[in-house]
Amino acid sequence: MKRVEKAYKNLDFLKSREARTLRILAEYLEPEKRFKDTGIKHTVVFFGSSRARPDQNSKNDFSFHKYYWAAEELAFKLANYSKELKKKGEGFAICSGGGPGIMEAANRGASRAKERNIGLNISIPFEQNPNNYITPELSFEFHYFFMRKLWFMYHAKAIIIFPGGFGTLDELFETLTLMQTKKLEKLKIPVLLYDRIYWEDLINFDKLIEYGLISPGDVKLFRFFSSPDEGMDYLKPRLKDAILNFKIKK
C-alpha cells in the first residue's frame, strides 16, 4: 500500500478548521524563531494610512502625501540613531505593517539609512502586497490579525501613529487600552501621534473625559508631535534608556 502524507505535510488538513490552533501557533513560533535568528530585540513601530502616497493625487483637500514624507524622514532619522546606539550596545529596527502608504514610508526611510527593517504584512480581501523597501528576511505574512498585533507590540520600544482610517484607529486604541489596563509590561513606552490638528478634529478626547469614559490621566498615555525633528528630540533619550537598560523578564 502507498504511504499517505504525514499530517504536518497535509495542506488540506492544515487549512482546515480543526488545524486552526496549529496555524495560530505557527504565527507565533515562526516569527519568534526568525527574530531570534536575525537578532531582533527592539523595534520602533509605525502605524498609519495605507492610502497615503508620496505624490499628491488625493481628490480631497487634505494633503496626505505630507504625512508620507514626514514618516519617511522620521524613519530615516531613527534608523541612523539606531546606528549610534549599536556602538554602545544594541540598536533597534523600524517596523511597519508591510504594505503601502505610511507603512511603505517607514520601511523606505529605514532602507535609505541602509538599516534592516521589518514588514508585518496581512492577508486581506483587498490584497495588500509587501512594499519594496522591507528587508527580505524580515518580511512576514500573517493570516490572523491578533497574532500580527502581538508581534507589533512584543519588541516595541516606541509606537508612532500617523493619520489613518479604521485600521490605524484600531491599532491606536488597542495600544492605549493595553497601556490603560496595564496589560502591557512596558507601561512607559512612548506613543506619539503625528499632527495634533488631525487627531483632535477626529477624536474629542476632552469629551471622553467630560463623560467620565476615560480618566484625565489617560490622555497622558500619548503625546502629539508635529515634525520629525520634534519626534526625534522626544524619542532619543527614551529609546536610549529603554534599549541600553533592557533586561529580559522571565
- Cα 122 to the center of its chain, rounded Å: 12
**Model pTM score:** 0.93
Q: Please name the residue that has the C-alpha cell 492577508.
A: 123
Q: Are 194 and 225 in contact (CB under 8 A)?
A: yes
Domains, the chain, ordered by start = 45-53+64-244 (3.40.50.450)
Dmax (CA) of the chain: 74
Residue 28 burial by CB count (10 A; 0-12/13-18/19+): exposed, middle or buried?
middle
Q: Rounded CA gap, 81 and 84, in Å? A: 5
Residue pLDDT tens, the chain, 250 long: 888 889 888 899 899 999 999 999 999 999 999 999 999 999 999 999 999 989 876 555 567 889 999 999 999 999 999 999 999 889 999 999 999 999 999 999 999 999 999 999 999 887 678 999 999 999 999 999 999 999 999 999 999 999 999 999 999 999 999 999 988 876 689 999 999 999 999 999 999 999 999 999 999 999 999 999 999 999 999 999 999 888 655 4
